[in-house]
Copies of this chain bind each other. A is one copy, B any other.
Amino acid sequence: MNKGGVFLLSGPSGSGKDTLLSALFAAHPELLFSISSITRPMREGEREGEKYHFITRERFENMIEQDELLEYNIFVDNYYGTPRKPVEEALQSGKDMIIEVDVNGAAQIRRKLPDAVSVFVMPPSLAELKRRLSSRGTETDELIQKRLQCALDEIARAVEYDYIVVNNEIATAAEQLYAIILSNHLKTDKQMELMNEVLSTC
Protein backbone atom coordinates (compact mmCIF):
# COMPACT_ATOMS: atom_id res chain seq x y z
CA MET A 1 0.00 0.00 0.00
CA ASN A 2 1.35 3.43 -0.79
CA LYS A 3 1.21 6.53 1.37
CA GLY A 4 -1.97 8.55 1.54
CA GLY A 5 -2.38 12.02 0.13
CA VAL A 6 -3.21 15.41 1.59
CA PHE A 7 -5.75 17.44 -0.39
CA LEU A 8 -6.22 21.11 0.35
CA LEU A 9 -9.64 22.33 -0.67
CA SER A 10 -10.42 26.03 -0.87
CA GLY A 11 -13.09 28.11 -2.49
CA PRO A 12 -14.96 31.30 -1.73
CA SER A 13 -18.16 31.46 0.26
CA GLY A 14 -20.84 30.67 -2.33
CA SER A 15 -18.71 28.20 -4.28
CA GLY A 16 -20.76 25.30 -2.91
CA LYS A 17 -17.67 23.72 -1.35
CA ASP A 18 -19.55 22.19 1.58
CA THR A 19 -22.23 20.53 -0.56
CA LEU A 20 -19.48 19.24 -2.85
CA LEU A 21 -17.62 17.73 0.11
CA SER A 22 -20.80 16.10 1.42
CA ALA A 23 -21.32 14.44 -1.98
CA LEU A 24 -17.69 13.32 -2.08
CA PHE A 25 -17.74 11.76 1.40
CA ALA A 26 -21.10 10.09 0.75
CA ALA A 27 -19.67 8.37 -2.33
CA HIS A 28 -16.25 7.64 -0.79
CA PRO A 29 -16.59 7.12 2.97
CA GLU A 30 -12.97 5.88 3.11
CA LEU A 31 -11.74 9.47 2.74
CA LEU A 32 -10.84 11.34 5.91
CA PHE A 33 -11.74 14.91 6.77
CA SER A 34 -9.42 17.10 8.80
CA ILE A 35 -11.20 18.47 11.85
CA SER A 36 -10.10 22.03 12.63
CA SER A 37 -9.36 23.22 16.13
CA ILE A 38 -11.08 26.50 16.92
CA THR A 39 -11.55 28.76 19.91
CA ARG A 40 -14.88 30.37 19.10
CA PRO A 41 -17.94 29.21 21.04
CA MET A 42 -20.02 26.35 19.67
CA ARG A 43 -23.04 27.45 17.62
CA GLU A 44 -26.46 25.89 17.50
CA GLY A 45 -26.43 22.69 15.48
CA GLU A 46 -22.69 22.19 15.84
CA ARG A 47 -21.18 19.21 17.64
CA GLU A 48 -17.75 18.69 19.14
CA GLY A 49 -15.54 16.66 16.82
CA GLU A 50 -17.85 16.80 13.83
CA LYS A 51 -16.39 19.64 11.83
CA TYR A 52 -14.47 21.34 14.64
CA HIS A 53 -12.73 20.65 17.92
CA PHE A 54 -13.76 23.42 20.27
CA ILE A 55 -10.77 24.18 22.48
CA THR A 56 -9.66 26.94 24.80
CA ARG A 57 -7.46 29.83 23.82
CA GLU A 58 -4.77 28.55 26.20
CA ARG A 59 -4.77 25.11 24.61
CA PHE A 60 -4.61 26.67 21.15
CA GLU A 61 -1.66 28.88 22.08
CA ASN A 62 0.05 25.84 23.53
CA MET A 63 -0.46 24.00 20.22
CA ILE A 64 1.15 26.92 18.39
CA GLU A 65 4.15 26.82 20.72
CA GLN A 66 4.56 23.06 20.36
CA ASP A 67 4.32 23.27 16.54
CA GLU A 68 1.25 21.04 16.60
CA LEU A 69 -0.54 22.95 13.84
CA LEU A 70 -0.06 22.80 10.09
CA GLU A 71 -1.61 26.24 9.75
CA TYR A 72 -3.57 28.68 11.83
CA ASN A 73 -5.29 31.98 11.54
CA ILE A 74 -7.03 34.57 13.67
CA PHE A 75 -10.48 35.62 12.52
CA VAL A 76 -12.64 38.06 14.50
CA ASP A 77 -10.55 37.48 17.61
CA ASN A 78 -10.76 33.67 17.44
CA TYR A 79 -8.13 31.12 16.45
CA TYR A 80 -8.72 28.57 13.69
CA GLY A 81 -6.17 25.90 12.88
CA THR A 82 -5.36 22.49 11.39
CA PRO A 83 -3.85 19.98 13.84
CA ARG A 84 -0.80 18.26 12.40
CA LYS A 85 -1.02 14.84 14.06
CA PRO A 86 -4.20 13.41 12.46
CA VAL A 87 -2.90 14.43 9.04
CA GLU A 88 0.43 12.66 9.58
CA GLU A 89 -1.33 9.57 10.92
CA ALA A 90 -3.61 9.44 7.87
CA LEU A 91 -0.64 9.69 5.51
CA GLN A 92 1.24 6.92 7.29
CA SER A 93 -1.75 4.59 7.24
CA GLY A 94 -2.20 5.12 3.48
CA LYS A 95 -5.42 7.11 3.79
CA ASP A 96 -6.32 10.28 1.99
CA MET A 97 -7.14 13.36 4.04
CA ILE A 98 -9.10 16.35 2.84
CA ILE A 99 -8.35 19.67 4.52
CA GLU A 100 -10.87 22.44 3.94
CA VAL A 101 -8.87 25.59 4.38
CA ASP A 102 -8.80 29.20 3.17
CA VAL A 103 -6.23 30.56 0.73
CA ASN A 104 -3.89 31.75 3.48
CA GLY A 105 -4.07 28.45 5.35
CA ALA A 106 -3.43 26.53 2.14
CA ALA A 107 -0.31 28.61 1.51
CA GLN A 108 0.95 27.81 5.04
CA ILE A 109 0.35 24.06 4.63
CA ARG A 110 2.00 23.96 1.19
CA ARG A 111 5.24 25.20 2.76
CA LYS A 112 5.13 22.42 5.37
CA LEU A 113 3.80 19.64 3.12
CA PRO A 114 5.10 20.28 -0.39
CA ASP A 115 3.42 17.06 -1.61
CA ALA A 116 -0.03 18.32 -0.65
CA VAL A 117 -2.31 18.54 -3.66
CA SER A 118 -4.43 21.67 -3.74
CA VAL A 119 -7.82 22.16 -5.35
CA PHE A 120 -9.71 25.40 -5.75
CA VAL A 121 -13.50 25.22 -6.05
CA MET A 122 -14.97 27.85 -8.37
CA PRO A 123 -18.62 28.91 -8.55
CA PRO A 124 -20.08 28.28 -12.04
CA SER A 125 -20.40 32.01 -12.75
CA LEU A 126 -20.22 35.34 -11.00
CA ALA A 127 -23.94 35.82 -11.51
CA GLU A 128 -24.59 32.54 -9.68
CA LEU A 129 -22.11 33.47 -6.94
CA LYS A 130 -23.92 36.76 -6.43
CA ARG A 131 -27.24 34.95 -6.29
CA ARG A 132 -25.94 32.48 -3.70
CA LEU A 133 -24.44 35.21 -1.54
CA SER A 134 -27.69 37.19 -1.68
CA SER A 135 -30.09 34.35 -0.96
CA ARG A 136 -28.83 33.64 2.51
CA GLY A 137 -31.36 35.82 4.22
CA THR A 138 -31.82 39.42 5.02
CA GLU A 139 -28.35 40.83 4.37
CA THR A 140 -27.95 44.39 3.21
CA ASP A 141 -26.63 45.22 -0.26
CA GLU A 142 -23.49 46.55 1.37
CA LEU A 143 -22.79 43.25 3.12
CA ILE A 144 -23.44 41.27 -0.08
CA GLN A 145 -21.09 43.59 -1.98
CA LYS A 146 -18.44 43.05 0.70
CA ARG A 147 -18.83 39.26 0.51
CA LEU A 148 -18.60 39.36 -3.25
CA GLN A 149 -15.39 41.38 -3.05
CA CYS A 150 -14.01 38.84 -0.54
CA ALA A 151 -14.87 36.01 -2.94
CA LEU A 152 -13.20 37.80 -5.85
CA ASP A 153 -10.05 38.33 -3.76
CA GLU A 154 -9.95 34.60 -3.06
CA ILE A 155 -10.65 33.67 -6.68
CA ALA A 156 -7.71 35.81 -7.75
CA ARG A 157 -5.50 33.38 -5.82
CA ALA A 158 -6.84 30.26 -7.56
CA VAL A 159 -3.66 30.24 -9.67
CA GLU A 160 -1.74 29.09 -6.58
CA TYR A 161 -3.65 25.78 -6.71
CA ASP A 162 -2.77 22.60 -8.59
CA TYR A 163 -6.32 22.02 -9.80
CA ILE A 164 -9.49 24.03 -10.34
CA VAL A 165 -12.91 22.40 -10.13
CA VAL A 166 -15.86 24.44 -11.38
CA ASN A 167 -18.82 23.56 -9.20
CA ASN A 168 -21.61 23.73 -11.71
CA GLU A 169 -23.28 20.37 -11.21
CA ILE A 170 -22.51 18.72 -7.84
CA ALA A 171 -22.26 15.12 -9.12
CA THR A 172 -19.88 16.10 -11.92
CA ALA A 173 -17.74 18.23 -9.62
CA ALA A 174 -17.58 15.40 -7.04
CA GLU A 175 -16.49 12.97 -9.74
CA GLN A 176 -13.79 15.39 -10.85
CA LEU A 177 -12.59 15.88 -7.29
CA TYR A 178 -12.38 12.12 -6.82
CA ALA A 179 -10.44 11.73 -10.09
CA ILE A 180 -7.84 14.13 -8.67
CA ILE A 181 -7.59 12.07 -5.46
CA LEU A 182 -7.45 8.73 -7.28
CA SER A 183 -4.89 9.81 -9.86
CA ASN A 184 -2.62 11.12 -7.11
CA HIS A 185 -2.09 7.52 -5.94
CA LEU A 186 -0.97 6.52 -9.42
CA LYS A 187 1.87 9.02 -9.68
CA THR A 188 5.10 7.18 -10.39
CA ASP A 189 6.89 8.23 -7.21
CA LYS A 190 3.93 6.97 -5.15
CA GLN A 191 3.82 3.66 -7.03
CA MET A 192 7.48 2.69 -6.58
CA GLU A 193 6.77 0.57 -3.54
CA LEU A 194 4.02 -1.30 -5.35
CA MET A 195 6.31 -1.74 -8.33
CA ASN A 196 8.96 -3.31 -6.18
CA GLU A 197 6.31 -5.68 -4.82
CA VAL A 198 5.37 -6.69 -8.36
CA LEU A 199 8.99 -7.27 -9.28
CA SER A 200 9.71 -9.31 -6.16
CA THR A 201 7.12 -11.96 -7.00
CA CYS A 202 9.23 -13.70 -9.64
Contacts and interface: CB of A to CB of B under 8 A. Distances in A.
A26 interface: no
A113 interface: no
A166 B125 contact: no
B188 A161 contact: yes
A155 B188 CA distance: 12
Interface string A169-202: 0000001101110110011100110110011011
A126 interface: yes
Binding site secondary structure of chain A: helix
B158 A201 contact: no
B161 A199 contact: no
A164 B199 CA distance: 14
Contacts of A163: 183, 186-188, 191
Copies held by the complex: 2
A133 interface: no
A86 interface: no
A127 B183 contact: no
A149 to B, nearest CB: 12
A186 B7 CA distance: 14
A103 interface: no
Contacts of A164: 186, 188, 191, 194-195
A122 interface: yes
Given A164-B188, A166-B198, 10 more contacts: A122-B195, A122-B198, A126-B199, A126-B202, A162-B188, A163-B186, A163-B187, A164-B186, A164-B195, A176-B183
